[in-house]
C-alpha cells in the first residue's frame, strides 16, 4: 500500500454522500470536480467505521470547525467505506451528528480509499486519513493516523491556513499560528 502524497493529483471520483437526515433530500452526488469548479480547497477526512467510539468525536470536532474551513474557502467532506444508508442511520441515531454541516461520503466500493492508499488490509476499512487538496486538485497535505488514535482538527485548520499563506509566496516557520509573522523572501 502506498498513500498518495503531496504534489499528486487527487483521484477522480463520483460518490453518493449523506447530506441530511431528511429522507426527501438525504443524499447527493459528490465528485472530485466540485471543489475545483467552485475555486475552493478541499479537506477530505476519513474515518474507519460508523457507530464506533473515536469516530464521532472527530466528526463532531470537524463540524465545530466548519466555519473555519468555510472562511478559508474550503469544502469539507467526511468519508468512510460505510454506505450512505449507514451514514443516514448513524446521523439519525446519534444526536451529535444530526445537524452536520458537511457531507458524509460513502465509498462502499472502497475504490477511492484503495486508490488513496488508505485502505487497511485486514478489515478493508479506511485509516483515519486527512487530505488537503488545492483548487487545482493537487494534494498539498496528508496525515494518516492509526485506527485507534483521533486527530487534532485545529491542526488541520492551521495547516490549511499555512498552505494558503505559502501560496502567497511566504514561508511558514515552525509552530506558526495564524496572525503571526511569516518569513518573507
Mind telling me the catalytic residues?
55
Identify which of 121, 3, 106, 99 has the alpha carbon closest to the alpha carbon of residue 47: 106
Dihedral class, residue 51 (left if φ above 0, else alpha if ψ from -120 to 50, else beta): left
Do 167 and 159 contact (CB within 8 A), yes or no?
Answer: no
**Mind giving me the DSSP string for 14-35?**
EEEEE--S-GGG-EEEEETTHH
Do 141 and 131 contact (CB within 8 A), yes or no?
Answer: yes
Q: Let me know if 143 is exposed, middle or buried by CB neighbors in 10 A (0-12, 13-18, 19+).
A: middle
**Cell numbers 451528528 label which residue?**
97
Amino acid at each position: 500500500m502506498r498513500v498518495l502524497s503531496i504534489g499528486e493529483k487527487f483521484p477522480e471520483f463520483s460518490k453518493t454522500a449523506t447530506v441530511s437526515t431528511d429522507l426527501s433530500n438525504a443524499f447527493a452526488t459528490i465528485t472530485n470536480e466540485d471543489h475545483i469548479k467552485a475555486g475552493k480547497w478541499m479537506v477530505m477526512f476519513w474515518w474507519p467505521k460508523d457507530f464506533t467510539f473515536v469516530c464521532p468525536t472527530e466528526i463532531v470536532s470537524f463540524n465545530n470547525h466548519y466555519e473555519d474551513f468555510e472562511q478559508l474557502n474550503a469544502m469539507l467532506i467526511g468519508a468512510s467505506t460505510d454506505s450512505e444508508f449507514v451514514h443516514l442511520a448513524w446521523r439519525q441515531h446519534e444526536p451529535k451528528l444530526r445537524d452536520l454541516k458537511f457531507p458524509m461520503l460513502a465509498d462502499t466500493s472502497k475504490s477511492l480509499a484503495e486508490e488513496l492508499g488508505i485502505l487497511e488490509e485486514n478489515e478493508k476499512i479506511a485509516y483515519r486519513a486527512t487530505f488537503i487538496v488545492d483548487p487545482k486538485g493537487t494534494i498539498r497535505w496528508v496525515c494518516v493516523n492509526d485506527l485507534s488514535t483521533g486527530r487534532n482538527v485545529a491542526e488541520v485548520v492551521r495547516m490549511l491556513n499555512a498552505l494558503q499563506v505559502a501560496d502567497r509566496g511566504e514561508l511558514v516557520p515552525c509552530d506558526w499560528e495564524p496572525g503571526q509573522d511569516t518569513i518573507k523572501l
